[in-house]
Structure 1
Amino acid sequence: MFNDSCNLPLDTDTVGLTYIYSVIFTLGLPSNLLSLWGLYQLGRSGGGGCQLVYILNLLLSDLLQLLTLPLWILYLQGGHRWPYGQPACELVGYVFYVNVYASVMFLCLIALDRCLAVVYPLSSRGVRTVRVAAVAGVAVWTLTFLFCLCGLLPSVFDPQSLLCLEQYPVSPGYARFKIATAALGFLLPCAILGYTSARIGLTLQRSPSVSDHERHKIVGILVVITVNFMAVFGPYHLVGGYRFVSLLLTDEPCRLERSIFLVYRLCYGLTSLNTLLDPLFYIFLCSDARLELRRSLPCIKTQRALPRPSPQEEQRPQPPRSTSSKALWE
């Protein structure tokens, strides 16, 4: 199948993206649902704090993005023809984009919160509250909705070719919008993650109460999270940045679109990997969430599973949770 305006071989991405979306949906849906259940149980027990709010929002955005993948698979199998009409295309495309960038923003909030907890453990207590986290969550969703609304209007649907969320060549206004998303949705978060990782690393290096093993573990997790973010979102935004800047400068946009089509589309599909990796890095690395999963789901058996305390033990006064860097990252 070829696009009429730029003569693009649209079927070249069908096999690759279908496999990518199928694997991500098959593994990501149960992982996110299991993680949400663990967080729900953690919230019922009174744990988590503001981190719980941020991670819940992160998983919600991942789950909404995951639910759009079956429709994109059907769209690809139909030869890049959207059979469900313009309103459905606009809704699904809007939900996909909003949740991609909402998840990026919540990753930044999680990194900033952990930086405050380690670098300024006492003075940041007034900021690191559930109420502040809830307000920040509402602000992220609102700003992301408005930003994507400005970029995706008036429409992401072509009634003649039935292309959904695709345009070849793109309009200058849409190209500028995508350049802005590359700057705000990738470069700025990279700077935030790099800054918070450096501050946490320096603070731990100077802290005599943190052992070398704990320090290496925390820094290792920071490095893995940062590399994961760059590996998942970096190719799409870097290739996209080159594509859209070049489209604003070139006199032969269709030639550029043909040369970069397959690479750009595969990088676009890889961004959905965050919906599969987020539960692994932010839930299954959390000892409290794992403990609640073991308690609430008897089918999950591990050697270190702990029994639920008796009513008499629950009534005894418990010591406050540790606010050390080790407790925050285990």
Structure 2
Amino acid sequence: MLNDSCDIPLETDKVGLTCIYSGIFALGLPSNLLSLWGLYQLGRSGGGGCQLVYILNLLLSDLLQLLTLPLWILYLQGDHHWLYGRAACELVGYVFYVNVYASVMFLCLIALDRYLAIVHPLSSRGVRTMRVAALAGLVVWTLTFLFCLWGLLPSVFDAKSQLCLEQYPVSPGYARFKLATAALGFLLPCSILGYTSAHIGRTLQRSPSVSDQERHKIVSILVVITVNFMAVFGPYHLVGGYRFVSLLLTDDPCRLERSLFLVYRLCYGLTSLNTLLDPLFYIFLCPNARLELRRSLPCVKTRRGPRDLRQPPQSASSKALWE
């Protein structure tokens, strides 16, 4: 199938994106539901603190994004024809994009909260409260929704070609919007994650109460989370940055769109991997959440015996990383 405006071979991304979305949905849905159950049990037991609020919002944004994937699979199988009308395309498109960037913002809030808890544990007590966390979550959802509404409103659905969240070539206004999302949704979070991880690592190096083994574990987790973020979102924003800057400068946008179509679309699909990896890093690596899952779900097998279900002793810095 060819697009009327740029002769884009739209069918070339069908197999790759269908496999990516199907695998992510099949593994991500149970992971997120299990993680939300662990968070619920942790909240009932009175644990988690403001981290609980941020991680809950993160998982909710991941779950909402996951629920749109079956419709994108049907869209791909229909050769990029959206058959459900403009209203459904706009709704699903907004839900997808809002939750992609909301999850990024909640990752930043989690990183900042960890930084305050470990590097400035005393002076940050007034900031690290459930009330502030709830307010921050509300602000993130509101600003992300308004930002995506401003950028996506003119470009969500093309009634003539029945393309949803696609436009070839894109308008200059949409290109500028996508460059803004690259700056705010990737470069800024990368800076925040890198800065907080580096300062947490230096603080732990100077802390006599943290053992070498525990220090190595915490730093390794922070590095893995930062590298994971860059690996999942980096290719999409780097390729997209090149695409949209070039489209603003080139005299032959259709040629550029054809040359980048498949690479850009596959990188776009890989961003949904965050919905699968977030539960791994923020729940399954959290000792308290794992403990509550074992207590509430007897079917979850573990190699530990009954005595080992008690949480092992942790230093204050280690507790602050997750609480």
Which TM bucket (shorter chain)?
over 0.9
Cα distance in 2 between the residues matched to 1:290 and 1:48? 12
Q: CA deviation at 1:262?
A: 0.3
Q: Give SS of 2:188's match.
A: helix
Match of 1:314 in 2: none
Q: CA deviation at 1:212?
A: 1.0
The 1:307/1:33 distance shift into structure 2, 3 A limit, reads: farther
Instruction: Please say if residues 42 and 292 of structure 1, whose CA atoms lie closer than 8 Å, have aligned partners that are also in contact.
Output: yes
Counterpart mapping for 1:254-293 below 5 A? 254-293=254-293
Match of 1:242 in 2: 242
Match of 2:319 in 1: 327
Match of 1:106 in 2: 106
Q: CA deviation at 1:28?
A: 0.1
Cα distance in 2 between the residues matched to 1:79 and 1:305? 53
Match of 1:316 in 2: none
Residue type matched to 1:275 in 2? T
Q: Give SS of 2:284's match.
A: coil
- Structure 2: tracts of 5 or more residues without a match: none
Cα distance in 2 between the residues matched to 1:202 and 1:159? 55
Summarize deviations over 1:152-175 as a string: whole Å, max 9, x none. Answer: 113410111100000000000000
Match of 2:115 in 1: 115
Match of 2:134 in 1: 134
Cα distance in 2 between the residues matched to 1:248 and 1:306? 63
The 1:327/1:306 distance shift into structure 2, 3 A limit, reads: farther
Match of 1:38 in 2: 38
Q: CA deviation at 1:78?
A: 0.3
Q: CA deviation at 1:251?
A: 0.3
* Higher mean C-alpha deviation, range 263-272 or range 289-298: 289-298
Instruction: Kindly report the root-mean-square deviation, in angstroms, between the aligned alpha carbons of the 2 structures.
Output: 1.5
Residue type matched to 1:6 in 2? C
1:303 matched to 2:295: no
Residue type matched to 2:211 in 1? S
- Structure 1: tracts of 5 or more residues without a match: 310-320
Cα distance in 1 between the residues matched to 2:229 and 2:50? 22
Cα distance in 1 between the residues matched to 2:307 and 2:61? 33
Q: CA deviation at 1:264?
A: 0.1
* Higher mean C-alpha deviation, range 211-220 or range 44-53: 211-220
Instruction: Please say if residues 236 and 268 of structure 2, whose CA atoms lie closer than 8 Å, have aligned partners that are also in contact.
Output: yes
Residue type matched to 1:239 in 2? V
Q: CA deviation at 1:3?
A: 0.4
Cα distance in 2 between the residues matched to 1:227 and 1:118? 21
1:149 matched to 2:144: no
Instruction: Please say if residues 155 and 166 of structure 2, whose CA atoms lie closer than 8 Å, have aligned partners that are also in contact.
Output: no
Counterpart mapping for 1:47-58 below 5 A? 47-58=47-58
Cα distance in 1 between the residues matched to 2:225 and 2:82? 35
Match of 1:73 in 2: 73
Match of 1:64 in 2: 64
Cα distance in 1 between the residues matched to 2:132 and 2:151? 29
Residue type matched to 2:250 in 1? T
Q: CA deviation at 1:301?
A: 2.2
Cα distance in 2 between the residues matched to 1:243 and 1:154? 19
Residue type matched to 1:101 in 2? Y
Q: CA deviation at 1:322?
A: 6.9
Cα distance in 1 between the residues matched to 2:314 and 2:211? 16
Cα distance in 1 between the residues matched to 2:80 and 2:154? 20
Residue type matched to 1:304 in 2? R
Counterpart mapping for 1:203-242 below 5 A? 203-242=203-242
Please give the TM-score of this superposition, normalised by the length of structure 2: 0.96
Cα distance in 1 between the residues matched to 2:305 and 2:48? 19
Match of 1:7 in 2: 7
* Higher mean C-alpha deviation, range 194-203 or range 207-216: 207-216
- The alignment of Structure 1 onto Structure 2 pairs a total of residues equal to 319
Identical columns (%): 84
Instruction: Please say if residues 118 and 200 of structure 1, whose CA atoms lie closer than 8 Å, have aligned partners that are also in contact.
Output: yes
Match of 1:180 in 2: 180
Residue type matched to 1:130 in 2? M
Please give the TM-score of this superposition, normalised by the length of structure 1: 0.94
Residue type matched to 1:106 in 2? F
Residue type matched to 1:192 in 2? I
Instruction: Please say if residues 286 and 329 of structure 1, whose CA atoms lie closer than 8 Å, have aligned partners that are also in contact.
Output: no
Cα distance in 2 between the residues matched to 1:140 and 1:234? 22
Summarize deviations over 1:123-171 as a string: whole Å, max 9, x none. Answer: 1111111110000000000000000000011341011110000000000
